Structure 1
Amino acid sequence: MDGLRRERLWRAVTERAGGEWPEAGWVKVVCSAAGELTGVDGAAVSLRTEENRQELVASTDVWASGLEELQFTVGDGPAVEAYATRGPVLVGDLTVEEQRWPGFADGAAAVGVRAVFAFPLQVGAILVGTLCLYRRAPEPLIGDALSDALILAEIATTAMVSDLGHTDGRPKAPWAHVDAEGYYDDVNIATGMLAAGLGISLGEALLRLRAHAFSHQIPITEVARLVKDRQLRFDTSTDP
């Protein structure tokens, strides 16, 4: 049964690519398919490392990418937990479990999220990222939808590996190039600037950026751009 389900989902993904190698990469196609096939309102795939580095690879829309950024800003949330625990995190009603990730729950509620489902992306024993599904209605992901989501997470992992470069000569996806512009590039630059300016570690500098973004309720990417453009300064080692 799983074999037939996997074949059906692979076919659904490849049909969305029109039978061609997708210029934006396979992860983008899988992400869009996951949003449609599981009956949720948004989906996003993020590349993650154990050093708490994160990069948004694909999303269905600005709403979903904003929710990934929210998790990056507060440093917590369902995708963060799914990566840390190596298992799915399924929350059918976020208001019931709002104390699980208070920072994320408040921000998510403000933009209409009521349910969220996160899945780790894993190649053998190596974790490479997460697939996160977002829903505006408080409704669990069960039955066929859950089975599809689990397999789509596997397909997303395969897509990520394919996007990084194929042995048959296929080019890398745009997001996979070393010199590609990353979603959080400004954050990385601002973190380095802050660390150098205050004489603190990169980890502490990132915490300062996150604290400022959270306390002022603005995206961390916006805070980073202000720091990079020298429109925002952290003048002391205790300035949030």
Structure 2
Amino acid sequence: MEGRRERLWRTIAAWAAPSAEDRGRAQELCLSVVAEFAGVDAAMVTLWARGERAQEILGASDDWAAGVVETQYTVGEGPGVESLRGGDPVLVPDLRVEQVRWPGFAEEALSAGVRAMFAFPLQIGAIKMGTFELLRRRAGALAHEELTDAVLAADLIAAVLLRQADRAERAGEDFEPRLLTSFDDVNIATGMLAARLRIGLDEALARLRGHAFGRQRSVLAVARDVIEHRIALDDLAE
């Protein structure tokens, strides 16, 4: 246990180095977590902005993990969303028993092979930055030592992100970490739809999500179709 913890701490410490922002450290951390935690099949680090309207994948251990992040964002629910909102870890050792809690997400995630999920907020005080999440293909809780390490890792990741943002601000620069996937196109399409239909941004995002979910597509794909005028804004009026 101590060896695992020390290796994870070294990975996070390397990420915190002044020259590390653009070297894929979040991705390296996710891969390290999968290697070090028994029974954990995937890990991801996401950033959230403007409440829940904008999300970015900072790191994911594989495409499967990234797809689960995108599913949560499309349906607007799931352990990560709940963890971000409440500011506490959300531990789901068996997703099958939580289908009523998150009906849209649970159905899609179970179909994708997710059986257990553990979400930890990246938060310092009132500052909410994102989530650190772990996936399992079989049901079961994290071991006590793994849970402790995951909570500590989330705190350290939050501290690293806050330090990097502060460093960028003091240098007069925007905080632009290296991203695995950006959902900025969703933000753009949301603004376009809100302006066209004269509705609020939250309602516009809800319409994009409803359109995507009803057609079994990701909200990111729908947003890109809106931007490229492959979907008319008036088609989302209802």
Aligning the two structures, in what range does the TM-score lie when normalised by the shorter sequence? 0.7 to 0.9
Partner of 2:151: 150
- What secondary structure sits across from 2:182 in the alignment? coil
Report the CA distance between 1:208 and its aligned residue. 0.5
Alignment of 1:75-224 (within 5 A): 75-164=76-165, 166=167, 175-176=176-177, 183-224=182-223
Report the CA distance between 1:14 and its aligned residue. 5.2
- Paired letter, 1:27: A
Q: Cα deviation per residue 1:143-188 (whole Å; 9 max; x = unaligned)? A: 2211121111112112322443648x99x899438xx896111111
Q: In 2, Cα distance between the equivalents of 1:12 and 1:194?
A: 42
Q: In 1, Cα distance between the equivalents of 2:217 and 2:236?
A: 21
- Paired letter, 2:58: V
Report the CA distance between 1:49 and its aligned residue. 4.1
Partner of 1:235: 234
Is the CA contact (8 Å cut-off) linking 1:90 and 1:117 kept in structure 2? yes
Q: In 2, Cα distance between the equivalents of 1:173 and 1:42?
A: 30
Alignment of 1:31-42 (within 5 A): 31-39=30-38, 40-42=40-42
Is the CA contact (8 Å cut-off) linking 2:15 and 2:25 kept in structure 1? no
Is the CA contact (8 Å cut-off) linking 1:31 and 1:60 kept in structure 2? yes
State TM-score, norm by structure 2: 0.84
Is the CA contact (8 Å cut-off) linking 2:78 and 2:102 kept in structure 1? yes
What do you get for the CA RMSD once the two structures are aligned? 3.3
- What secondary structure sits across from 1:95 in the alignment? helix
Q: Which runs of 5+ in 1 are unaligned?
A: none
Q: In 1, Cα distance between the equivalents of 2:82 and 2:207?
A: 21
- Paired letter, 1:73: T
Report the CA distance between 1:11 and its aligned residue. 2.7
Is the CA contact (8 Å cut-off) linking 2:22 and 2:177 kept in structure 1? no
Q: In 2, Cα distance between the equivalents of 1:78 and 1:147?
A: 18
Runs of 4+ with >4 A deviation = 4-8, 12-17, 172-175
Is the CA contact (8 Å cut-off) linking 1:88 and 1:120 kept in structure 2? yes
Partner of 2:44: 44
Report the CA distance between 1:117 and its aligned residue. 0.1
Report the CA distance between 1:229 and its aligned residue. 0.7
Q: In 1, Cα distance between the equivalents of 2:163 and 2:28?
A: 12
Distance 1:112 1:130, change over 3 A: same
Q: Which moved more, 1:45-54 or 1:115-124?
A: 45-54
Q: Which has the higher helix share?
A: 2
State TM-score, norm by structure 1: 0.84
Q: Which runs of 5+ in 2 are unaligned?
A: none
Report the CA distance between 1:119 and its aligned residue. 0.4
Q: In 1, Cα distance between the equivalents of 2:177 and 2:15?
A: 21
Distance 1:139 1:182, change over 3 A: closer
Is the CA contact (8 Å cut-off) linking 1:30 and 1:152 kept in structure 2? no
Report the CA distance between 1:106 and its aligned residue. 0.5
Q: In 2, Cα distance between the equivalents of 1:46 and 1:166?
A: 20
